[in-house]
Amino acid sequence: MAAGCQEQKAKISRVSVIIPTLDAAHLLPPLLAQLEGVGEVILADGGSGDGLAALGPRVVAAPRGRGTQLAAGAAAAQCEWLLFLHADTRLEPGWQAAVRAAMDQPGRAHYFRFALDDPSPQARRLETAVAWRCRWLALPYGDQGLLISRELHAEIGGYRPLPLMEDVELARRLGRARLACLPARAITSADRWRRDGWWRRSGRNLLTLSLYFCGVSPERLARLYR
């Protein structure tokens, strides 16, 4: 039994967690507390001024932009598995067991089920819509995390330095056959939807995705999105 526990701990220590940040020091402590036992945590920072370095993990500076920051974090990572997470994400209990099981499939990238920290019916409807998008379109977003082996990440060319849609672009290169959903949830802050309005923000996200598939460049989409 003790040998098995040690083996499981050793497995999770082969994971580098990469988190893109921008003035996110107030969001990170609960997530960092969940990551005990991983090989390393890298904060790929786009120019924060909020004392991020005091939190403890290694900080890698990168030009601002989530795609650029994710690429910089991956380049600096030392472990054979990479787990990309957002700063406002929390992982539900049991996530480590799900990740360890997924590590037996190095030829696939794995994402978490999407959930929001809000009890409203609007949140449940959005979770259902995201589950549909992942099932039928094979398009998980970055707030669902991504676990991928370093070998597969290198094979597909990693994250592109895009200002927007870097997660969708990567998912399309991976393709349905190399994407799998983990049996655990990544719980995302619903602050953005509460602030902007559930219908307004969801509609804007859908419009942005539609324009991207129609050929509008990520650079132009970023300007429109802002």
pLDDT tens by residue, 104-161: 999 999 999 999 999 999 999 999 999 999 999 999 999 999 999 999 999 999 999 9
User: What is the model's pLDDT at position 225?
Assistant: 74
- Does residue 4 surpass a pLDDT of 60? no
User: What is the model's pLDDT at position 222?
Assistant: 85
User: What is the enclosing helix (H) or strand (E) of 39?
Assistant: none
155 contacts 214 by C-beta, under 8 angstroms: no
Nearest Cα residue to 198 out of 138, 142, 131, 123? 123
pLDDT in tens, 109-125: 999 999 999 999 999 99
Does 2-194 carry CATH code 3.90.550.10? yes
Distance from C-alpha of 108 to C-alpha of 116, rounded to nearest angstrom = 25
pLDDT band (50, 70, 90) for residue 8: low
The percentage of the chain sitting over the pLDDT mark of 70, rounded to a whole number, equals 96
pLDDT band (50, 70, 90) for residue 53: confident
Take residue 150 and report the two structure tokens written for it: 């370093």
**Residue corresponding to tokens 């995705």:** 209
pLDDT in tens, 39-50: 999 999 999 988
Take residue 185 and report the two structure tokens written for it: 């949830």
Number of neighbouring beta carbons within 10 Å of residue 149: 21
pTM of the entire predicted model: 0.94
Q: How far is CA 134 from the centre of its chain?
A: 14
Query: Domain boundaries in the chain?
Result: 2-194
Phi, psi of 37, deg, nearest 5: 100, -15
User: What is the model's pLDDT at position 61?
Assistant: 95
pLDDT in tens, 171-188: 999 999 999 999 999 999
| β-sheet bridge partners, residue 148 | 82
Residue type, 3: A
User: What is the enclosing helix (H) or strand (E) of 49?
Assistant: none
Nearest Cα residue to 60 out of 81, 80, 46? 46
User: What is the model's pLDDT at position 9?
Assistant: 65
pLDDT band (50, 70, 90) for residue 166: very high
